Amino acid sequence: MSSLTEKDRPIVQLLLSTGTCPRCILRFCCVGSQMLYRQPHKDLMKDLQEFLKSSQEKEDPVCLDVADPPCKRLRLEHGGEGADGVNHNGAIPSADNGNSATESSAVKVCNVCLGILQEFCEADFVKKVCQKVNSADFQFTSFVFSVSLPPQLSVREHAAWLGVKQQMRNLGLPLAKDDIIQLKEAYKWIIHPQLSEELGVPADGKSLFEVSVVFAHPETDEECHFLATACPDCFKPAKNKQSVFTRMAVIKALEKIKEEDFLKHFPCPPSSPKNLCDALEIQCNNGAVFVAGRYNKYSRNLPQTPWIIDGERKLESSVEELISERLMAEFKADSFNFSSSGREDVDVRTLGNGRPFAIELVNPRRIRFTAEEMRRLQQAINDSSDKIQVRDLQLVTREAIGRMKEGEEEKTKTYSALIWTDKAIQREDIAFLDGIKELRLEQKTPLRVLHRRPLAVRCRLIHTMRAEFIDQHHFRLHLKTQAGTYIKEFVHGDFGRTKPNIGSLLNRTADILELDVESVDVDWPPTLSD
């Protein structure tokens, strides 16, 4: 139960006479009862009219009794209409479920909310939203509902507040703008239970599944333009914004503009519009799902990510694409973002336990997979190509991905390099390499990556080395290094940009013929049993 007292009478009288809907009147009277806002428009209007007719000398508050709202089934059985052919909001039902501008002679469009707390609270619109959600075929167990309102609503609300404040000031009563119930809040009070009942899941502010409605009102689009002249500093062009008249910019200007300047440009209370708002968009969006694992790369002709130069694709596929293609199909996602613990060159293999990776699947329709389904998905990826293999494929959280990047430069990696020398070598010529520990390198950004990496000198460590003699011009070098070490440059020296290097240590020209990553020592993601 909620009540209006005598101090609310001037607010009700003023707003009702200027075309404000009952729910907006309750907002300006600072009524916080959610159940009261869910009552039918006709009942609220009747209660407000009876409140005004009651004796002004009566000191006891007049109560607006709140009964339990009628169930959806009952409303649907009666077609959502009263005996006089109007719906619960007192508006004539429209053929397009309230999604377009409508002019009603029975009830004026509210001069403050522009019909949002009228037509768009009705069962027809709720069903339209739910049909959109169901047709999008998302998996979800709860939802969060968001609303995008046209910025001119803030101007109209400000105008209504100034008008009411002046009325209250004449009576010696204060009315702080912050005390008024926000339109979005009142709308969600009304719409949440209806959406929850229709969708069969609860509303939850922390849900990753979002249902959003974008409202617009073309008839009044220009109502905030005067603010750009009065407060030009508040309206600055921004990237990805089609108009400078964003809701936040308008609110900032309204906080800055003087009352007298506002009143020169805008009526208080605001005039009644002819048309309802338009529900421009009804959108669904699921929070991202994250999949992690480790991959082995067996090809020396496969880049980690698509290799495209000047718009031209150099190779037909990549590690990223071979893994993500199947994931995108199974999760029914809009897009993806691939990341990994380091990267290998196109001609480098990744062996051993593989390289940790994670994929963010954006706006997935399907989000629930059992461990067995993930195993089958992993097998499907592995069967699709002989160039890669995936292991330990699993669902992870966004926070867990951070472990893959934690202390990345402190991690170690092991490599196997096939090396050629111009001068003949014997076993004893390379034996000393086995005894070198914690060799400190200074590596200038390699010439081959200078186009995409800043020029810098990086200190890196070669922890251990072990050389295997093959013949007079070839040997294999096993290295354990600090992550981020450029191995190819350590072998050939990159024209002296990496010091020391294998060539300088052996006092001869050396080059690398093959390189394999044998391990990436990152203890993530967790190993799964077969």
Report the phi/psi class of residue 237: left, alpha or beta, with left for phi > 0 and alpha for psi in -120 to 50: beta
- Tell me if 128 is assigned to some domain: yes
Structural domain of 195: 6-54+110-223+266-284
So what's the pLDDT on residue 202?
97
Tens of pLDDT along 336-385?
999 999 999 999 999 999 999 999 999 999 999 999 999 999 999 999 99
Determine which of 80-94, 370-384, 402-416 has the lowest per-residue pLDDT on average.
80-94
What is the maximum alpha-carbon separation in the chain?
A: 114
So what's the pLDDT on residue 67?
43
- Provide the pLDDT confidence category of residue 106 given band limits of 50, 70 and 90: low
Mean pLDDT of 182-200: 97
Q: Which two tokens stand for residue 180?
A: 């008024």
DSSP bridge partners of 283: 212
So what's the pLDDT on residue 407?
65
498: Cβ contacts below 8 Å, ≥ 6 apart: 441, 442, 443, 444, 446, 486, 489, 490
Asked whether residue 395 falls in the same domain as residue 431, the answer is: no
Separation CA 215–CA 221 (nearest Å): 12
So what's the pLDDT on residue 214?
97
Asked whether residue 319 falls in the same domain as residue 419, the answer is: no
So what's the pLDDT on residue 174?
81
- Tell me if 103 is assigned to some domain: no
- Tell me if 37 is assigned to some domain: yes
Q: Which two tokens stand for residue 494?
A: 């990159």
- Tell me if 276 is assigned to some domain: yes
Tens of pLDDT along 460-512?
999 999 999 999 999 999 999 999 999 999 999 999 999 999 999 999 999 99
Residue 329's closest CA among 375, 390, 387, 381?
A: 381
CATH classification of the domain holding 449: 3.30.70.3190
Asked whether residue 331 falls in the same domain as residue 379, the answer is: yes
Distances (CA, A) of 381 to 226, 359, 377, 465: 59, 14, 6, 35
Q: What three-state secondary structure class fits 150?
A: coil
Asked whether residue 169 falls in the same domain as residue 273, the answer is: yes
- Tell me if 102 is assigned to some domain: no
Tens of pLDDT along 241-265?
778 898 899 999 999 999 999 999 9
Per residue, what are the HEC states of 295-359?
EEECCCCCCCCCCEECCEECCCCCHHHHHHHHHHHHHCCCEEEEEECCCCCCCCEEEEEEEEEEE
Asked whether residue 387 falls in the same domain as residue 454, the answer is: no
53: Cβ contacts below 8 Å, ≥ 6 apart: none
Peptide bond into 267 cis (omega under 30): no
Write down which residue in 387, 409, 431 finishes a domain: 409
Q: Which residue has the higher pLDDT, 55 or 330?
A: 330
So what's the pLDDT on residue 6?
86
Asked whether residue 362 falls in the same domain as residue 441, the answer is: no
* 96 tagged catalytic: no
Residue 110 scores a pLDDT above 50: yes
Q: Which residue has the higher pLDDT, 169 or 99?
A: 169
**What size, in residues, is the chain?**
530
Per residue, what are the HEC states of 116-144?
CCCHHHCHHHHHHHHHHHHHCCCCCCCEE
φ/ψ (deg, to 5) at 521: -85, 65
Task: Check: pTM over 0.85? Answer yes or no.
Answer: no
Write down which residue in 379, 409, 439 finishes a domain: 409
Write down which residue in 409, 440, 468 finishes a domain: 409
Determine which of 231-240, 263-272, 435-444 has the lowest per-residue pLDDT on average.
231-240
Percent of residues, the chain, with pLDDT higher than 70:
89
Residue 130 scores a pLDDT above 60: yes
Residue 97 scores a pLDDT above 80: no
Asked whether residue 315 falls in the same domain as residue 270, the answer is: no
CATH classification of the domain holding 352: 3.30.70.2510
Amino acid type, 65: D
Separation CA 66–CA 76 (nearest Å): 21
Q: How many CB atoms lie within 10 A of CB 253?
A: 25
Asked whether residue 367 falls in the same domain as residue 419, the answer is: no
So what's the pLDDT on residue 361?
98
Distances (CA, A) of 184 to 91, 180, 213, 262: 21, 12, 11, 24
Asked whether residue 48 falls in the same domain as residue 176, the answer is: yes
Asked whether residue 276 falls in the same domain as residue 154, the answer is: yes
Residue 158's closest CA among 227, 237, 107, 236?
A: 227
So what's the pLDDT on residue 58?
55
Q: How many CB atoms lie within 10 A of CB 79?
A: 11
Separation CA 214–CA 277 (nearest Å): 10
Tens of pLDDT along 2-13?
568 888 999 999
Residue 321's closest CA among 299, 338, 308, 341?
A: 338
- Tell me if 245 is assigned to some domain: no
Asked whether residue 21 falls in the same domain as residue 146, the answer is: yes
Asked whether residue 336 falls in the same domain as residue 395, the answer is: yes
Structural domain count of the chain: 3
- Tell me if 431 is assigned to some domain: yes
Catalytic residue among 43, 124, 345, 511: 345
- Tell me if 258 is assigned to some domain: no
Q: What three-state secondary structure class fits 424?
A: coil
Percent of residues, the chain, with pLDDT higher than 90:
77
